[in-house]
Structure 1
Amino acid sequence: MQNLKGKVAYITGGSKGIGYGVAEKLIATGMKVAISGRTLKKVETAAQYLGDSENVLALQSDVSKLNSEKEAIQKILDIWGQVDVVLANAGVGHFAPVYEMSEEQWHQMIDTNLSGVFHTLKASVQALKKSKGYYITLASLAGTNFFASGAGYNATKFGVVGFTQAAMLDLRKYDVKVSTIMPGSVATHFNNNEPSEKDAWKIQPEDIGELVLDLLKMHPRTLPSKIEVRPTRPDKK
C-alpha cells in the first residue's frame, strides 16, 4: 500500500484527538477518509476542518453497536466503493478503585473499548479482504502495564491487545494486515484533559498519524503487529 493516493480509510472516534490527528496525515497523502463518532454535529464540524467533502466523510456511529458500524461501512462503500484502511480508535476511560467503579462505567468501557474493536472489524472485514487492506487498533500501554484505579480500563486494553493479535493470525492468510498501536501519554482530550503547553512533553496526535503512515508504507512482506510508543522523556514533576 505504498501508493496511498485514492485509498479509503475509516477512523472511529475521529472528531478529535488521535483519530483526528491520523485523519489529517492520511488526507495529506491524497487518501479519502471517513471519520465517525456518536455525535454527528461534532463529527461534521471536524470534517469541515479536515478538508473538502470529496475527500472527507462524516458519519454518526456508536461502536458499541454492531449494526451501527455495519451501516457506517456500507455508507463508505456506497460512496467510495472500497475500504482499504480501518483505524479502531474510539475509546472511553473511567478511573477508580474497583470498589468505587459503577457497573455502568464498567460496561461502558467494555462495550466501547473492547466490543467496539470487534464490531468495527466484524463490519469491515469483508471489505478489507477484498482490498487486501489494513486493520489497526488503538490500544494503550495500559494493555500491558496495570495500575491502581485502572482495573476496568486495563481489562479493556489488555483485551484489545489480545484480540488484535489473534485477529492478525486469522486474517494474514487473506493478505489483510492487522496491527495494534499501544501509546503512552498522548496530548488529547481523553479523561477530560484540555490539551495545552503543559502537555508539550507528551506524544502528540500527529505523531501517531506519522506512525500509521509508516505502517501503511511498510513493505507488504513485513508486519509490525504490536507497537509500543511512549514519550521520549516523562514529565518532570
Structure 2
Amino acid sequence: MSILEGKAALITGGTKGIGYGIAEALLNQGFKVAITGRDQESTEAVAKELASKTNSENQVIGLEADVRQLESQEKAVKATLDAFGQLDLVVANAGLGHFGSIEDLTVDQWNAVIDTNLTGVFNSIKASVDALKESKGYYITISSLAGTNFFAGGSAYNASKFGVTGFTQAVMLDLRKYGIKVSTIMPGSVSTHFNGNEPSEAGAWKIQIEDIGELVVDLLKMNPRTLPSKIEVRPTTPPSSK
C-alpha cells in the first residue's frame, strides 16, 4: 500500500500533457484526483478515461474551471473538498504560450499568457490556502526552464515563467510555517501538444509526461523534513548533443 493512498489532489489543466501525466501517476498511487479544464464535457471524458486506465473508479472527477478567474478556482476547490473531503495537493499546471517578437506580439496574446500562466497560479494557490493549512499539504507549480533562460520571441512566455518561479519561491517562504510544502518544477522540452506540437517517436528524446508524474510522486514521498523547492529537469541527450 502506497503512503499516498487516500490523499486528494487538484490539478489544473489536467486533461492533457503534463497535467494528465501527473494525474495518472497519482491515481496509480491511490490518490483521489480532480482535474480541471475549460470545457466540462471533455474534462469529464478525460476523467473517465483516467479512471479506466488506472482502475480508479470513483477516484477521479473532472471539473470545468478557468484559472484566470479566482472565483472559478474557489469553486473548483470547493467541489474537490465536497467530493473527497480533503485536499492534500494542488498542482498549478495550466498554461499556454504565444511566441513572437515584441514587434508582433499583441496585447491580447500578452494578456492571455500572463493571465493564464502567472495569475492562474496565483488564483490556484490563493483559492486553496485554507484547505492546505488544514491538511498541511503540498503545492507544486509547473514553471519551465524558460523561467530562468530567456530567448528571442519569448517575451510573454519568459515573463510568465520567470514570474511563476519567483512567485512560487516566495510563497514557499510564506507558507512553510504552516507545514505546507511548496515546490516548482521547471521542465525543458516535454513531449506534449503544447504550441501545436504533435507527440511522436521523433520526440522520444524529450521528457515524457510520465516522467514528470514520477517526479511528482518522488517529491510527495520525500521525508517531510526535506524540501526540494526548485527542480530543473531536462532531456538527458537532446539532438544537438548527439
TM over 0.5: yes
Which residue in the other structure is 1:138 paired with?
142
Residue identity in the other structure for 2:208: Q
Deviation at 1:41, TM superposition (A): 2.0
How far apart, in 2, do the equivalents of 1:138 and 1:145 lie? 15
Number of positions where the alignment pairs a residue of Structure 1 with one of Structure 2: 236
Cα shift readout 1:163-199 (whole Å, capped 9, x = no counterpart): 0000000000000000000000000000011111111
- Output the aligned Cα RMSD: 1.0
Which residue in the other structure is 1:230 paired with?
234
Does residue 1:110 correspond to 2:87, yes or no? Answer: no
Q: TM-score, normalised by structure 2?
A: 0.96
Which residue in the other structure is 1:22 paired with?
22
Residue identity in the other structure for 2:37: G
Deviation at 1:115, TM superposition (A): 0.2
How far apart, in 2, do the equivalents of 1:59 and 1:31 lie? 17
How far apart, in 1, do the equivalents of 2:30 and 2:57 lie? 13
Which residue in the other structure is 1:9 paired with?
9
Does residue 1:68 correspond to 2:69, yes or no? Answer: no
Deviation at 1:53, TM superposition (A): 4.4
Choose 37-46 or 173-182, whichever is displaced more: 37-46
Aligned partner of residue 96 in structure 1, secondary structure: coil
Which residue in the other structure is 1:182 paired with?
186
Residue segments in structure 1 that go unaligned for 5+ positions in a row: none
Residue segments in structure 2 that go unaligned for 5+ positions in a row: none
How far apart, in 2, do the equivalents of 1:180 and 1:42 lie? 27
Aligned partner of residue 180 in structure 1, secondary structure: strand
Residue identity in the other structure for 1:9: A
Which residue in the other structure is 1:217 paired with?
221
Does residue 1:40 correspond to 2:37, yes or no? Answer: no
Cα shift readout 1:71-121 (whole Å, capped 9, x = no counterpart): 000011111111000100000100000010000000000100000000000
Cα shift readout 1:37-64 (whole Å, capped 9, x = no counterpart): 1112221121111115410010000000
Aligned partner of residue 61 in structure 2, secondary structure: strand
How far apart, in 2, do the equivalents of 1:227 and 1:103 lie? 31
Runs of 4+ in 1 over 4 A off after TM superposition: none
Residue identity in the other structure for 1:36: T
